[in-house]
Amino acid sequence: MAVALDLRDEILELKRARKAVILAHNYQTGDIQDVADYVGDSLGLAYHAKATDAEVIVFCGVHFMAETAKIVNPKKIVILPDKDAGCSLEQACPADQLEAYLHQHADKNYYVIAYINCSAGVKALCDVICTSGNAVKIVNLAPKDRPVLFVPDANLGSWVMEQTGRKMDLWQGSCYVHVEFTRDSINRIKAEYPDALVVAHPECTQAVRLLADEVCSTERMVDFCKKTEVKNIIVVTESGMLHRLKRECPDKNLIPGPTDRCACADCRYMKMNTMEKLRNCLRDLSPRVEMDEEIRRRAETPLLRMLEQSK
């Protein structure tokens, strides 16, 4: 999409004036990715948020990602273009429900692993966080003498069980975008490109994952597409990924994975951010991520544990 040059320039000028850094997730629109200082997956973004010395962090992603940046940067201003950019996984596991569940099953003494796609309140209740990029490693490091409860994504959880052989109890949440891909929709596109490789995100259902040549986080998709000699690659994840991949792998034919309804899948939350809202949030230093200090402190421990364990 062509963007008026002055809006892009305005953003870059405001960024300089505010001494800000712009972090963007791989699912953001192309114009936002192109003004960002760093574009990556949840893991790379968490490391960058922790390492930055910028005074203001502008987080172009969804709310839980900006919240993660605030958890490790309590003194910094963290802003996001649209504070209503949520996530169906976060919504599937409200902190009070998890707390009640843990209370009810206190005899189990669960080791709780939370996928980063959850609220600060949920992070505060768990032992360690993981992302799709390090979930296998984090689960392998879980104490062997305690049962594991994995929240909130049942699809990612079952993929990690397949990879590690570790049995876990799974919270039954899902990503409303990734469950839209079906065995039929992926088989149809495979029939059109019989020589294509399929790369899929682990938030997809098992039926879809079984059709993939590689299942991995969005950042690893970039490595996979760069390394393979095969030209046609079907990318089974949110549509924003295609912009990043086309930039990094210009020699590849990158084909969006279709759903039964659409030629590609958009996350309505990720797409709430626009260049106008990005300009406005830098101009107004609002909306800001704020949180209760006690929750922040409790959420920081499992987050730092993750960063340490996945080095």
Asked if 157 and 118 touch (Cβ cutoff 8 Å), the reply is no
Q: Which does 176 bind (CB under 5 to 8 A by kind): ligand 13P, ligand SF4, none?
A: ligand SF4
Q: Which is nearer to ligand SF4, 117 or 134 (CB)?
A: 117
- Choosing from 58, 160, 269, 273, the residue that interacts with ligand SF4 (CB under 6 A) is 269
Is 16 or 227 the residue whose CB approaches ligand 13P more closely?
A: 227
Strand order of the sheet with strand 197-200? 214-215, 197-200, 232-236, 253-256
Cα–Cα distance between 133 and 138 in angstroms, integer? 10
Taking the C-alpha atoms of residue 138 and residue 73, their distance in angstroms, rounded to an integer, is: 23
DSSP 253: E
Q: How many whole angstroms separate alpha carbon 303 and alpha carbon 43?
A: 11
E-strand spans in 148-240? 148-151, 169-170, 197-200, 214-215, 232-236
Rule CB under 6 A: say whether 46 interacts with ligand SF4: no
- Report, in Å, the least distance between residue 40 CB and ligand SF4: 14
Q: Which of 205, 238, 252, 254 binds ligand SF4 (CB under 6 A)?
A: 238
Q: Give the bridge partners for 56, in sequence order.
A: 20, 77
Interface mask toward ligand 13P for 117-156; x: CB under 6 A? x-------------xxx-----------------------
Q: Which of 86/94 has CB closer to ligand 13P?
A: 86
Residues of this chain that interact with ligand 13P (CB under 6 A) are: 26, 41-42, 117, 131-133, 175, 201, 203, 217-218
Residues of this chain that interact with ligand SF4 (CB under 6 A) are: 62, 87-89, 117, 175-177, 203, 238, 267, 269-270
